[in-house]
Structure 1
Amino acid sequence: MLNKLSQKSKILIPTVLLGGVLWGTAYQFSPKSRFINHYVDSLLTENQKRLPDNALKGVKMVDGLTVSTFATEPMLINPTDIDVDAKGRVWVLEAYNYRPSITGNPTHKEGDRIVILEDTNGDGKADISKVFYQGPEINAPLGISVLNNVVIVSQSPYVWKFTDTDGDDKADKKEILFQGIEGEQHDHGVHTFVFGPDGKLYFNFGNEGRQLKDAKGNLVKDQFGREISRKNFQEGMLFRCNLDGSEVECLAQNFRNNYEVAVDSYGTLWQSDNDDDGNKGVRINFVMEYGNYGYKDQMTRASWGYPRTNMEEEIPLRHWHLNDPGTVPNLLQTGSGSPTGMVLYEGDLLPKQFYGQMIHCEPGHNVVRSYPVTKKGAGYSAQIVNIMKNETDQWFRPADVCVAPDGSLIVADWYDPGVGGHQAGDLTRGRIYRIAPPQTPYSVPKQDFTTPDGAAKALQSPNIATRYLAWEALSKMGKSAENALASYWKNDNPRVRARAFWALVKLVDTKKYIDLAIQDANPDIRIAGLRAVRQGKLDILDYVEKLAKDADPQVRRECAIALYGQKSPKASQLWATLASQHDGKDRWYLEALGIGAEDNWDACFSAYLSQNHNPANSASGKDIIWRSRSNQSVKLLASLATDPSIALKERLRYFRAFDFVKGSEKSSALLGMLNGNSQEQNQINRLALGHLDAEFVKTSPIAKNALVQLMNNLDDKEFVQLQDKYTLPEGNERLISMIGKGEKVGDAGNALFKSPQGVQLAKNIINNPKQEDLAIKILGAIRWNGGKTQLTLLQDAMFNPKYSANIHREATRYLGGSGNGEDLILELLKAKKIKKDLIPVAVEGVSRAWRRSVRVEAAKYLGTTNATSKKLPPISELIALTGNPKNGAQVFANNCSVCHQVNGEGMDFGPKLSEIGSKLAKEGQYLAILHPDAGISFGYEGWDIKLKDGTQLVGIVASKTETDVVLKMPGGLVQNLKTSAIKSMKMQSNSMMPTGLADGMSQQELVDLVEFLMTLKKK
């Protein structure tokens, strides 16, 4: 049977001979032979599955394309990013030295490498590997762009410019292009530079980037003179600059980890963006210039999870503030994942469905895929089409994809059991694949860059590095290249025309070809023309005037965006003309209008009102009012918020809109809504009060009286939110009642201790012997806080002889409930201040401490110790064991649900794990449990916070603004802190997940737990 199968096989099939294993020749299965695949897979050991010859065994390809191996280890290892030059060579960034401080992996003191892989004999496989550069400053770099003899490497905190001056494929010169980019050794730092059709460079960084400095160390200023830092911009950003790094423009902001930008021939921008792990919010964005993309609150910079009016019902949507005015909508949300490299395919070798489309790597789901788009109003809709997916090997981690000169795709595979979270489980492997139609040899078309005709033709290559060489040559030719470029300007293919257009505008005659472009029959060419006007610094208003009533909404979208920064009366009138054409259904168009009116809202809205006298009477007008940030729109906003003909649920958007308007008119309008106490009016009062400043409420008798009356009729959840914000003395008795009933105990305890009156009320109850049961519940309600007042009260309850034995015991148990309390328990145990009979209670109170050192140290005082963990087999043996997922679910509930959620069940503290089985292979699961410090998810790092009053807190920073910090603590408790009260904040180097989590499990329970986690996959 095996002999027959071998005719269709391209994997290594073991032949059993006298009890041994003899490895045979490489073959390929028919795509239909799933049974055979499964049969042979069962014969392979784990090590055999990882061999390069078996790398493609579980791969499923889209119809019309095949995949082959171009290079494997040891020619390369751990490829983070690649580029393909005009000769068809693959340039690889390696990451052996990936985050050793967290992974604990060894490093190369020589630094990571930049490797060139070349196929010299035309068989489609690399046979030469050269090291272009290796240096200690190169540590897991994230982006490479090859521009002739210049190579730009993104390695936070630097962007390096390497130059090969003598053509020997070695870096002879190293310069700093940019620096000061935070995020060293971090996936959320600076990413790849991309050469655009306009002769500019495009690049981005994730939310760890924070700022951008030039080669001299000065903060870079954008096109409007604003320093590029967190002072002026939010989170992840997208940039454009000249080839020498000058004239940097910040094009969009407020992404989480926008990994790589793709630019099409019209100058349209596309990106992926990663969510906070476990929230199924990974997204694909069409990027409108100057847009806000909603990762943090645009006004307060608070986290997406911070309560707000009109929050989206589904967390993946809530994650991006999509219901907020001022947030550009997402093109597509893809669920969970860890998105990485992306390219825009503008060749003709692949099937037609991929022409002009994004090609993207998603290592979290072991797939390379495309997102074909369709125009929809002023924006787009998209679908997902998988190109290459490994259905059996979760180690397949595609990190980047590029287009080769012949139009084929080149894919880099990091090949590792884990992805994201700063994990690296393998340091020896890495693969490069080529995707092309069947029977398509790898070839490099010959190009002639010495003549105008040859250079103009080369500009149409699907390979970006080839286009750069063409641009470079055409730049030197100048006007002499006009005729050659003009022939492509008349081409039937609009993308070919667009590339020729940009070269003609930038290198030959700016105004002549812009004037032709904005009159063109193709709307995409008109859009390119408008973009060129802005780059050419011509009179943008003249051109917007010509296109302000264009029949195509996408052209009008670009007109609106072009008004950004324009503040003349003419600009306001043009904006009003564009706004009057909004149909009330197109969010893309509405947000483009918002971009165009930014910092000029009063003038724009006034002009709009002169053309639209009753905007609240139409869907389009209601949208404009909702999106407006003009004081003139406040009364209209208030009328819509209180309009009984509109369902209250639909009116929530108008209440939320008040948060984006500044000025006294807003407060007056909100107070004017307080009227009566009917059921609906109480809801309106609640909403109106919720959007006023807390201090204003305290100083306004009208607002305060209404608030007290309203809070009497709220459920516990809403009540405690308002009480936490306003700390009114009248609410303390109800907080005590909630604690007594066990309702939202931690939140109620926090709110109670925010006011002196609340603290005194708690002390009075604890001092009353007749209220012992309630006193113990109050002590339990403050156990997680760790504040100075709370800890002092707990210690007093432990030792003061006037209290009962019950209070002594429970206070001893509760003292260790916070990070500060854990330290106090250890101090008291060491000083022998805890009574002998209460030592077991004190130790039990810290038995689930995050810090293993605390648990181990405390256990010593019991006379026994579990300091030495039980011996477990190596991970390589554990993964071969089979567990019971049903039993594993119970192990999870007992050990993990205190911090993690699965499908909504459990505590929302650590990353959500509902799809962790899609993200991590078995090796990665064991690594995360046994060695949590090797994979701390970004955004879930532990923080030690010291307050000015001496209080010390430990938790996860859920949100941080200039005035407030929201700290999530174990057990689901949330603590709101004022930055003015914080003395210091220090990130912990270790994971908050206990390193000894497996100590309390048997080996079988651990195996069952991993088996359960592997079932948690994307539906």
Structure 2
Amino acid sequence: MNLTHQLSILPLLVSLTAGPLAAQGFAPQDAVRRMQVPPGFQVKLAACEPDIRQPVTMDFDDRGRLWVLQYLQYPTPAGLKPVQVDQYLRTTYDRVPEPPPHGPRGADVITILEDTHGDGHYHKVKDFVTGLNLASGMAVGHGGVFVAQPPYLLFYPDRNGDDIPDSAPEVLLTGFGMEDAHAFPNSLQWGPDGWLYGAQGSTVTSHVRGLTFQQGIWRYHPITREFELFAEGGGNTWGVDFDSRGRILAGTNFANVAMLHQVQGAYYVKNFGKHGALHNPHAYGYFDHVPYTGFRGGHVTCGGIIYQGGSFPKEFEGTYIAANPLANAVYWHVLEPKGSSFTAHFGGELLLGHDTWFRPVDCLTGPDGSLFVADWYDKRINHVDPVDNWDRTNGRIYKIEAAGTRPAAGLPLARLSSKELVGLLGHANDWYRREARRLLAERRDPAVLPLLRDMLLTRHDGLSLQALWALYVSGGFDDSLAEVLLHHPNEDVRAWTIRFLGDQKKITPALQAQLVALARTEPSGTVRSQLACSCKRLPGPEALPMVRELLHRDEDVDDPQIPLLLWWALENKVVSDREQVLSLLDSPAAWHSPIIHQFILERLARRLVAEGREADLNACARLLTLAPGPAEVDLLLRGMEQGLEGGQAPHLTSALEQQIARLWQQPAPSLALVRLCLSLGQARALERTLELVRDVHTAAADRLALMEVLGQRHPPEALPVLLSLLAGQEPANIRQAALAALASYPDQRVPETVLALYPQLPAGLRAQAQSLLCSRRESARQFLLAVDAGRIAAREVPLDQLRRVLLFQDPQLQQLVAKHWGQVGPEPTGAKIARIRSVQHILSLGRGHPVQGRLLFQKNCATCHTLFGEGAKIGPDLTSADRKDRDFLVSSVVDPSAVIRPEYTAYLAVTAGGRVLNGLLADSSPGSVTLLDAKNERTLIPREELEELKPSAESLMPEKLLDPLDDQQICDLFSYLQADSPPAPGAGPAKEQAPLKVCLVSGSLEYQSDDSLAQFQKYLEEHYPVKCTRAFRKSDDDLPGLENLETCDVMLLFTRRLTISGEQLERVKKYCRAGKPIVAVRTSSHAFQNWLALDHEVLGGNYQNHYPPGPLVQVHIVEQAKNHPILEGVKPFRSPGSLYRNPGLGKDVAVLLTGSVPGHQEPVAWVHLNHGGRVFYTSLGHPQDFTEESFRRLLTNALFWTARRTPARKE
């Protein structure tokens, strides 16, 4: 059956009294009633508050009892004081806490739940341990409970099984990072090999046993006590699981993808700007997420499991089921093999909460094959707002079961004999297989080894792999068995045999010979992938003969993982086994290997130069000698140049110098050779470079590449050339590159030229010029003196540049800043930056009401500020302030001390009697001073009593003004602050509105925009208070009617590559520069051929052509935007138009809709701000779209929203 679209309303499963929606969301039983699951499924309320609250992770013991970790202390540890917070809320604390029970006692609890009646409701409740302090992960096993509580991995022993810890916990590991509680170590999971695996999120840095890492998968062995970083990177991972073949899938906080396939020793994508580089600087690449199509929901996919429970319909078996808390849903995802890894696509909705408080965070398969879902249950789930308004009063666990599910049998498993446990390895529910394997690992019973060996050697199916895992954790794996298993028919048995050998980090000559032969002939990509992983772990002499064979497996060149795994296996041996690594390239055949050509040559040369010793440079010379042709030479040269980045150019060995000289004798030295020699400081390369960058016939990409090196090396001879390029009539990208290169020159001619050119520079180059001028003390002085002289407007200079200037601590610069900008505070703290972003997000998704906002203004702001003639005049009159710039407005409210105009500087007064007063200097005379405080109260202080009077760096305006307000109140307040006029007395949202004046700007022949907009005008004016005017294309260079832009409320733009110029184009630009409302459709991303920058400068887009036409575009609503006013009444639909490519949208863009075709997904509708005004753009707009009611509602809502009006449909 197809479950994707066959959702039914869940029947009532708990006969409890219904209750109204309260401040804490829905009552548990009401929340269950609202849920939707596919036909044949039902949801039961397994547990809820007050028994459990804020559940973050779960585990079952062998008795079938559910262990729950309640993360009640989140997000701040008890007993510690923050001493520093950055913009991502990473917090440094005053000390490292002692482990429990000696450290500060927190609120976290590990609770045991038991279903004593077999009805799915876990009524029996017992706390195992309380007082934990930000404990983020746990796993039951080995006679106790393993608990992650940073900076520790703890073990609470309970060997007698009485559910009371036998003693204080044992500290197994220390050094896990504590900076951010939403990225702590988590998802503790027993692997098939007996190791305890866990994830660590993105915004903490750990230092565990000499290993420093941020995000990744780690593992700890409970018997040998080894610790390893299994794989590095992957984002803020919550959720780790193993499929039936032992492959790891991990969750993600990246959008449009759902999981990562984590393999041993690999490196994965990170947010490198936020979280820093990989800790291996020579990785030179990383794996991204599993390629995904049909994505739905929010960007967080967490707590995922590969379903192997056996009780769901067959189509679910082997699928990835994971929580999507931002979408208030649990989704399932289909995995399909691709080489040694996967691709994935959306499978369907397993559980829809229909409740914005439903926040699933963890999933777990139970003993009966049902799925258990931990629900954090809160109105918020995002961590980026520092305001602690988490609701810690509730939390739920739900059980999703399929029809016909049978109760679990045979519990507790610990009572079974080891032989009986072996019998469970073939159970249909993987929960039994895992529990049996865990118990066997704890017992290490030699009596079962013959039984497991027989099962392993006689079975060829999945049971043979289960037997191998059980044999390994029971201590029955050895080299003689491995020699046999390398020929096993099951590819997964061969792969895991190789992994176990690699984990030994040394192999016998006999095994090495077998593995080399396997590398040459092995048909399975899965096995070859593990060979590459294990080669990284083995010593060079043992591993490199295998690598040699794998490098010649040409079929793997397109594999998603094997080529980079081979590079990483080579990379960690370049230093220790250089000669043997180089010998891999001695044969001519090696240079024809696609893997070597595409993945190894450039990286190898880069690694050698980065090491930079004499032998490494001679190795580069040897490679240049061996290279069979110019393509291979250029790969090596490019790699060598990259190896120089960020370091001093090495002294060349004679061998390498001779090779470079030989190459330079060629008739036309390649760009790669010129760049390398320029980086090495060679005069001939500089001469050639200056010729090329001056020559307008040189390819623009080559000129830009060479100027980049000039900026890095800044030779004096290049300065006049770069100045002339900046001053000349060059394209913008050439001038931009010249300006970037000039920034590295400490020469007075640079600021003199830049200041002389400044008035004529376009806006983008002006910002870059400001950065250059403010980077040095003397050029900053010249820049501010130009402002002082009126040659440059003070309003053009952003706050961040002023803060850079003040870092020089120069009195003259300080005076100039104070004169023109007033008091400039320090960079906002991380908490303030996070709060600013949070408020901006709230405003981007919500709709405010000015009437209610006016009341909030009167209560919170009018004591000091005037708006529309109402309020006091202690602070600036906001009526004439730049209130349309929402970013500035939000920053000013959250961080009022960032910039204080001179006339509003507060003063701190200290009297002889010890009294301290703060306020504006309202009056000053020889006999007294008068301060006006934030309550509009005046205090006169006689001079004779005044001991100290000095200006304060703090604004009178209080911080955290918005903290008491909820999201709707924040939207209401800002709707009033940004209103053009005050709401009429007694006015409310339901008042009849004046007609919305819409100017329809049309000129897209390809999409019949005239007809479409004419039909849409009829629709608008018939159903809404709208009056339309038209500016319709007469010809490509004539668009009459644009004078209507001067009187309209909002412009609806739908043109394509028109060539208007002069007054007509200026009318459009003037409208956009004024920050007026804009709704833009389809080809408006390239509306005017003479102003293609409109797309990214005004619309926030990045149009890069479109996918081939053919399949209908499926339009999806973005879950986290589903309550946006523009989406009211809009449902998913299909569009016949081709899907536009729009990678890398503007930083403030909020995507409302996405569109997908097979294999691709793109944003198709979004909002953002342009000069403080609202903009909506959609790449939809095919003529048939205008017949679709959801599309018409979309455009209608957008017109009213951008104009800050509420659509009121006519009766």
Which one of the candidate residues 319, 323, 330 is aligned to 1:368? 330
Work out whether residues 77 and 427 of structure 1, in 8 Å CA contact, stay in contact via their aligned partners in 2.
yes
Change (3 A) 1:558 1:657: farther
Measure, in 2, the Cα distance between the counterparts of 1:563 and 1:147.
Answer: 32
Letter in 2 for 1:705: E
Measure, in 1, the Cα distance between the counterparts of 2:321 and 2:640.
Answer: 37
> Quick one: higher RCO (CA 8 Å, sep 6+), 1 or 2?
1
Partner of 1:384 in structure 2?
Answer: 346
Measure, in 2, the Cα distance between the counterparts of 1:301 and 1:875.
Answer: 29
Measure, in 2, the Cα distance between the counterparts of 1:165 and 1:669.
Answer: 69
**Displacement of 1:701 after TM fit?**
0.7
Pair 1:725 & 2:712 matched: yes
Structural RMSD (CA)? 5.8
Pair 1:528 & 2:510 matched: no
**Displacement of 1:619 after TM fit?**
3.9
Change (3 A) 1:799 1:600: closer
Pair 1:577 & 2:549 matched: yes
Superposition map of 1:121-160 within 5 A: 121-135=117-131, 137-139=132-134, 141-147=135-141, 149-160=143-154
**Displacement of 1:790 after TM fit?**
5.0
Q: For 2:46, what is the secondary structure of its paired residue?
A: strand
Work out whether residues 252 and 291 of structure 1, in 8 Å CA contact, stay in contact via their aligned partners in 2.
yes
Change (3 A) 1:906 1:641: farther
Which one of the candidate residues 389, 392, 396 is aligned to 1:431? 396
Letter in 2 for 1:502: W
Pair 1:509 & 2:509 matched: no
Partner of 1:258 in structure 2?
Answer: 237
Q: For 1:725, what is the secondary structure of its paired residue?
A: helix
Pair 1:92 & 2:92 matched: no
Work out whether residues 783 and 815 of structure 1, in 8 Å CA contact, stay in contact via their aligned partners in 2.
no
Letter in 1 for 2:554: H
**Displacement of 1:196 after TM fit?**
1.5
Measure, in 1, the Cα distance between the counterparts of 2:409 and 2:315.
Answer: 23
Change (3 A) 1:709 1:497: same
Measure, in 2, the Cα distance between the counterparts of 1:875 and 1:826.
Answer: 43
Partner of 1:295 in structure 2?
Answer: 270
Q: For 1:70, what is the secondary structure of its paired residue?
A: strand
Partner of 2:49 in structure 1?
Answer: 73
Partner of 1:596 in structure 2?
Answer: 569
Letter in 2 for 1:586: D
Change (3 A) 1:191 1:719: same
Measure, in 2, the Cα distance between the counterparts of 1:902 and 1:85.
Answer: 60
Partner of 1:190 in structure 2?
Answer: 185
Structure showing greater radius of gyration is: 2
**Displacement of 1:635 after TM fit?**
3.4
Measure, in 1, the Cα distance between the counterparts of 2:440 and 2:589.
Answer: 57
Superposition map of 1:443-592 within 5 A: 443=408, 445-446=410-411, 447=413, 449-459=415-425, 462=429, 467-468=434-435, 471-473=438-440, 475-476=442-443, 478-486=445-453, 488-489=455-456, 494-507=461-474, 509-511=476-478, 513-535=481-503, 538-539=507-508, 540-545=511-516, 547-548=518-519, 549-567=521-539, 569=541, 571-583=543-555, 584-592=557-565
Partner of 1:861 in structure 2?
Answer: 904
**Displacement of 1:433 after TM fit?**
1.4
Change (3 A) 1:924 1:474: farther
**Displacement of 1:479 after TM fit?**
2.0
Partner of 1:112 in structure 2?
Answer: 108
Instruction: Deviation per CA, 1:921-948: give whole Å up to 9, x if none.
Output: 76999xxxxxxxxxxxxxxxxxxxxxxx
Instruction: Deviation per CA, 1:157-203: give whole Å up to 9, x if none.
Output: 22222233553433343222222112344323322321122222222
Change (3 A) 1:81 1:877: same
Change (3 A) 1:731 1:208: farther
TM-score (norm 1): 0.68
Letter in 1 for 2:967: I
Instruction: Deviation per CA, 1:292-318: give whole Å up to 9, x if none.
Output: 2243789x99769xxxxxxxxxxxxxx
Change (3 A) 1:281 1:506: same
Change (3 A) 1:590 1:571: same
Identity between Structure 1 and Structure 2 (%): 19
Work out whether residues 183 and 189 of structure 1, in 8 Å CA contact, stay in contact via their aligned partners in 2.
yes
Partner of 2:1119 in structure 1?
Answer: 918
**Displacement of 1:344 after TM fit?**
3.6
Measure, in 2, the Cα distance between the counterparts of 1:667 and 1:158.
Answer: 53
Measure, in 2, the Cα distance between the counterparts of 1:1012 and 1:638.
Answer: 68
Partner of 2:604 in structure 1?
Answer: 629
Measure, in 1, the Cα distance between the counterparts of 2:119 and 2:595.
Answer: 60
Partner of 1:756 in structure 2?
Answer: 746
Deviating more after overlay: 467-476 vs 830-839: 830-839
Deviating more after overlay: 415-424 vs 699-708: 415-424
Letter in 1 for 2:42: T
Measure, in 2, the Cα distance between the counterparts of 1:830 and 1:259.
Answer: 48
Letter in 2 for 1:599: N
**Displacement of 1:431 after TM fit?**
1.8
Change (3 A) 1:471 1:831: closer
Partner of 1:932 in structure 2?
Answer: none
Q: For 1:419, what is the secondary structure of its paired residue?
A: coil
Measure, in 2, the Cα distance between the counterparts of 1:741 and 1:720.
Answer: 14
Q: For 2:233, what is the secondary structure of its paired residue?
A: strand
Measure, in 2, the Cα distance between the counterparts of 1:867 and 1:287.
Answer: 50
Measure, in 2, the Cα distance between the counterparts of 1:395 and 1:892.
Answer: 40
Measure, in 2, the Cα distance between the counterparts of 1:815 and 1:879.
Answer: 26
Which one of the candidate residues 25, 33, 53 is aligned to 2:29? 53
Work out whether residues 418 and 924 of structure 1, in 8 Å CA contact, stay in contact via their aligned partners in 2.
no
Q: For 1:525, what is the secondary structure of its paired residue?
A: helix
Letter in 2 for 1:918: E
Measure, in 2, the Cα distance between the counterparts of 1:848 and 1:738.
Answer: 39
Change (3 A) 1:834 1:470: closer
Change (3 A) 1:184 1:49: closer
Work out whether residues 503 and 537 of structure 2, in 8 Å CA contact, stay in contact via their aligned partners in 1.
no
Measure, in 1, the Cα distance between the counterparts of 2:642 and 2:568.
Answer: 18
Deviating more after overlay: 340-349 vs 625-634: 625-634
Q: For 2:545, what is the secondary structure of its paired residue?
A: helix
**Displacement of 1:523 after TM fit?**
0.9
Superposition map of 1:808-847 within 5 A: 810-811=793-794, 814=797, 816=799, 818=801, 820=803
Letter in 2 for 1:725: Q
Work out whether residues 188 and 205 of structure 1, in 8 Å CA contact, stay in contact via their aligned partners in 2.
yes
Change (3 A) 1:875 1:762: closer
Measure, in 2, the Cα distance between the counterparts of 1:116 and 1:201.
Answer: 21
Pair 1:246 & 2:225 matched: yes
Change (3 A) 1:459 1:668: farther
Measure, in 2, the Cα distance between the counterparts of 1:570 and 1:799.
Answer: 68
Letter in 2 for 1:373: L
**Displacement of 1:872 after TM fit?**
9.9
Partner of 2:168 in structure 1?
Answer: 173
Change (3 A) 1:75 1:752: same
TM-score (norm 2): 0.58
Change (3 A) 1:671 1:132: farther
Work out whether residues 257 and 274 of structure 1, in 8 Å CA contact, stay in contact via their aligned partners in 2.
yes
Change (3 A) 1:208 1:148: same
Letter in 1 for 2:157: T
Pair 1:228 & 2:211 matched: yes
Letter in 1 for 2:315: Q
Measure, in 2, the Cα distance between the counterparts of 1:561 and 1:653.
Answer: 25
Measure, in 2, the Cα distance between the counterparts of 1:689 and 1:626.
Answer: 19
Measure, in 2, the Cα distance between the counterparts of 1:764 and 1:669.
Answer: 41
